[in-house]
Chains A and B, each alone.
Chain A
Amino acid sequence: MQEGACDPGLYDFQPYRGRAPIQWPGDKKVAVWVAPNLEYYEIDPPAHPKRKAWTKPHPDVVGFAHRDHSNRVSHWRMADVMSKHGFPGSVSLSVALCQHHPEIVADAQARGWEFFSHGIYNTRYAYEMDEGQERAIIEDSIRTVREATGQTIRGWLAPALTHTPRTLDLIAEYGLDYTCDLYHDDQPQWVKVKQGELVSIPYSLEVNDHYGFFVYNMSGREYADTLIRQYERLAAEGGTVMCIPLHAYLIGQPHRIGPFEEALRHIAEDGRAWIARSGEIVDAWRAQQ
């Protein structure tokens, strides 16, 4: 990005109207990917000058235990529903989960899910890192996921969505080819980087379960209905991408998972969805550029 400039210079303006149509495999209308965030939040992380990890003095029992629900209970609940309806995950991974709870990483790997990095922990923020520090977390991410799964990560979702002005340039330099941090489009787009090639794949804040339940305060059924409306519109327009970003400790609560399963069933049975992993969507789009 252009550090300090009023326009960060991440991409060129590209109006939605008049774009060359995008074709998805099998003549499907909308590429649908599900992005479970598999995270580890530290109970007592070091302080960061720009952001507090927890609102209460440590231990923030509800804050920590709520996230821990993912790793004891709801990961499997969420993953079983996804597998049942044919949705692989593209995992936004706190890579230290490979050390803390390797069983969860192994479960995702066994289900054929793709991994990309969401930083080391969701309680370690990138703001104010120098270049060496940022290189260290990128190299750590690549190495840790490779050792745990054999996969070479291709994507990045910044830890707790914290960035520096050089993050996108650096991940592209290391050969990563997609970012989930930009929300400017419903189709993949090129991102301007110093070297290498980087694609922005549509992730979503708006239909992220965190926004659904803690910004818009929806019930489980309202959130499921939101997903179906998002899907129906994007399928009708065609050549689009729909991401469903999830956190097991939210979507995997017992009062929400049933309605969520119905939304997945709806999308899977509709016939217009290309249900894919993030890397496959990036490849299919790049092949048409």
Chain B
Amino acid sequence: MSLDPSYLDYPKRQYGYDHDLYGWSALHERSPIYWPDGKSVAVFLCVSLEWFPITPSDTPFRAPGHMQTAYPDYRHYTARDYGSRVGVYRLLDAFAKAGIKASFATNSTIAERYPALVSDIVREGHEIIAHSTDMNGTIASGMPVEEERTLITTTLDTLERATGARPSGWLSIARSQSWSTVDLLKEAGTRYCCDWVNDELPYRFRNGLINLPLNHELSDRQIITVQQQSVDSYVQSMGDAFSWLAGEAERFGGRMLPLHITPYIMALPYRIDAFERLLVDLSNRPQSWFAKGNAIVNAWEQQS
């Protein structure tokens, strides 16, 4: 028994990465970042607005949260739609009450299907981040580049028509990209994406696109749906994370806490109260700056 001899070749065993997408840099060695008004922890609140067709696609892969039973899967179709009918309004009210501006990573189909919702979001001062067409619009290597290019431009064009502004940010479904995505996003005029979870502050890809990391480990999907923690445990974890980052910011400069929220997960009646308490707690902390993705990118870019 033996492996192909090439299995012991390491052609990219070299300084830095084994890819050219971005360069290496250690967070704690970078020049400190200062957020507006002397705040030290930016809280990036990003809500995913997702529409799951009852006819799921497995090409290139089926999105997390998608249909699970044989057709027709009423239970998941409607339970996901609950987030866009009921849950998201609980969140909007909570944000208004706490005086918080957020980013909504929105499937462009949401804007077409539920224009009233999207206009409420925009009118209340929140940001729209492009989040593909619908939850069948997943991306991975192997899909034809032309198809991916069309997916991206269709999403941006549709959201621009619906909201009057072309989104500057992009979030891929499940943060999944192909080898082409970073270049296609740049080509489509996107300023930043949120897909790479390797950092805790923005950084630039070699092509100039900015990555604004939206940590999946801190998402409600990961902590509540995947790890099956209670909302109280989630709230405690976010409080611990903020405290840690505020301490680190005293030594190293501004830090960022990304909160990635899904209406059909977090905005259920038995969870929303605890989440509202978290928002009040964090917004009352003297170090916190709740900011939309584009505001964080602006503040960072002025110093970078």
Q: Using a CB–CB distance below 8 Å, which chain A residues touch chain B?
A: 42-44, 46, 48-49, 56-62, 64-66, 68-69, 71-73, 76-77, 96, 99-103, 120-121, 124, 128-130, 133, 136-137, 213, 217-221, 253-259
- Which of A62, A96, A103, A128 gathers most chain B CB within 10 Å? A62
Q: Which residues of B lie under 8 Å from residue A137 when comparing CB positions? A: 8
A130 and B244 in contact, given A59-B141, A62-B175, A120-B10 (Cβ under 8 angstroms): no
Q: Which residues of A lie under 8 Å from residue B175 when comparing CB positions? A: 61-62, 65
> How many whole Å from A190's CB to the nearest CB in chain B?
28
Partner of B218, one of A59, A62, A73, A253: A253
Task: Give Cα A68 to B215, complex, Å.
Answer: 12
Identify the 6 closest CB pairs spanning chains A and B, nearest first.
A68-B198, A255-B241, A65-B198, A130-B2, A254-B241, A217-B227
Task: Give Cα A61 to B15, complex, Å.
Answer: 21
Task: Give Cα A256 to B228, complex, Å.
Answer: 16
Q: Which residues of A lie under 8 Å from residue B172 when comparing CB positions? A: 61
Question: B5-39 toward A: CB 8 Å interface, digit per residue (1/0)?
Answer: 11110101111111100001111100000000000
Quick check: A255 and B18 within 8 Å, CB to CB? no
> How many whole Å from B201's CB to the nearest CB in chain A?
9
Quick check: B226 and A217 within 8 Å, CB to CB? yes
A69 and B197 in contact, given A128-B1, A258-B240 (Cβ under 8 angstroms): yes
Task: Give Cα A134 to B161, complex, Å.
Answer: 60
Task: Give Cα A11 to B141, complex, Å.
Answer: 46
Q: Which residues of B lie under 8 Å from residue A101 when comparing CB positions? A: 16, 24
Quick check: A57 and B140 within 8 Å, CB to CB? yes
> How many whole Å from B141's CB to the nearest CB in chain A?
4
A254 and B245 in contact, given A43-B17, A61-B177, A128-B1 (Cβ under 8 angstroms): yes
Known interface pairs A46-B7, A56-B61; 12 further A-B residue pairs with C-beta atoms within 8 A, sorted by A's residue number: A48-B3, A56-B140, A58-B141, A65-B197, A66-B197, A71-B24, A73-B200, A100-B15, A100-B16, A130-B2, A221-B237, A254-B257
